[in-house]
Structure 1
């Protein structure tokens, strides 16, 4: 069967410029076929580096260029670090073995992956300042309030498996995945502070709510993973004060 690759222009809301599909050609049809060498060269032109940021500026989703030390890019950097740290925790959790085959464990993995995707949406929203971006851009980057509700539901579900918290716990002792999640929680708090520093006039308040709730999720998640692994959490001990 003869085939050719057809490129389709995609709507703006997809976030992609074009997509390819393979179309079967009628027998003996004299239609031009894509040269494999030319096609591979075309793919190679989609480079990671653009050199547009070589002078210390970068472009927001709104099209505006700002210095890379702008508060928006600082917030985006912390959000990216948070996403990567969650990825470390997820990858380590997947190496645990039998624990991850339990239904709660499988659901937990899916939740972390969902959060990683939502953090991309957080970044898009943060990169679209409300005071300067056009309305069409703002609508495309709008962050859904339902995402906050989803986190609250997951927190409540995990909490049902845990003993009530009667003492402060240290970010250690619950196993390696639990520790990674505690690090993610701390990074999440930093990302939240960075986003708040941008200013109310430029940030969707739902994004701030989401990051605030996400840090709560990550704290409970660290405890939940310790529960799945059968690890004992380390309790904070008061300091001895001199009489």
Structure 2
């Protein structure tokens, strides 16, 4: 069983029912998310032509402009997921790699929640795409555990370190941008607060993970002077 198979949208009931299959194909920028939520082993076609007029559909069935705050948030979190995938390709720390793989799975779940704007979602739709708050605590536990093995910071550090550490700093910066996009959506009352909190805590985790990986490879952190 892979980590993604343990995530919310791989439950037998969701796959059997088709759940969010019909609209997520067009509204999620990440095709793998559609496949996960629909239970489809593959897509027969990558293109659908439904977005050729500059609009796309949310899970609730609304069509919105592609520069809408919903899709800005979806795009930013998808970009973050891609950066994390790159980080894992250069990572030499097995524990952090496993944690990041799980984060990638959870970001897919989080995108489904973003794709369900609260203003137009039914109770059933909200229940299917609700992002569990327990994952925030999980990040905090990882942060605390890693921090115990790191030298305390006495100064600001510059984004630097090992190749994996530097890549994690990039992912952290992208995560901060995703947080700004999600915050805009939260202020419009279109997404639950837990989604915003998770992205906020994730950027903290990525900072700590960057330090962990640099120290693991004996790479020096550059102190800001």
Gaps of at least 5 residues in structure 2 are: 1-14, 20-35
The structure whose residues are more often strand, as a share, is: 1
Please identify the structure whose Cα radius of gyration is greater: 1
Structure 2 counterpart of 1:189, from 173, 176, 184: 176
Aligned residue number for residue 177 of structure 1: 164
Judge conservation of contact 2:186–2:193 (CA < 8 Å) in 1: no
Judge conservation of contact 2:186–2:192 (CA < 8 Å) in 1: no
- The verdict on how the C-alpha distance between 1:210 and 1:18 changes in structure 2, with shifts beyond 3 A counting, is closer
| Aligned mates of 1:183, 1:18 — CA distance in 2 | 32
| Aligned mates of 2:199, 2:60 — CA distance in 1 | 22
Structure 2 counterpart of 1:48, from 46, 49, 55: 46
Structure 2 counterparts to residues 156-171 of structure 1, below 5 A: 156-171=144-159
TM-score by length of 2: 0.82
Aligned residue number for residue 198 of structure 1: 185
Partner of 2:59: helix, strand, or coil? coil
The structure whose residues are more often helix, as a share, is: 2
Gaps of at least 5 residues in structure 1 are: 1-8, 20-42, 94-99, 238-243
How many positions carry a matched residue from both structures?
194
Per-residue deviation, 1:63: 1.4
- The verdict on how the C-alpha distance between 1:54 and 1:233 changes in structure 2, with shifts beyond 3 A counting, is same
Aligned residue number for residue 15 of structure 1: 37
- The verdict on how the C-alpha distance between 1:18 and 1:119 changes in structure 2, with shifts beyond 3 A counting, is closer
Q: How well do the aligned residues superpose, as a CA RMSD in angstroms? A: 1.7
- The verdict on how the C-alpha distance between 1:83 and 1:52 changes in structure 2, with shifts beyond 3 A counting, is same
Per-residue deviation, 1:61: 1.3
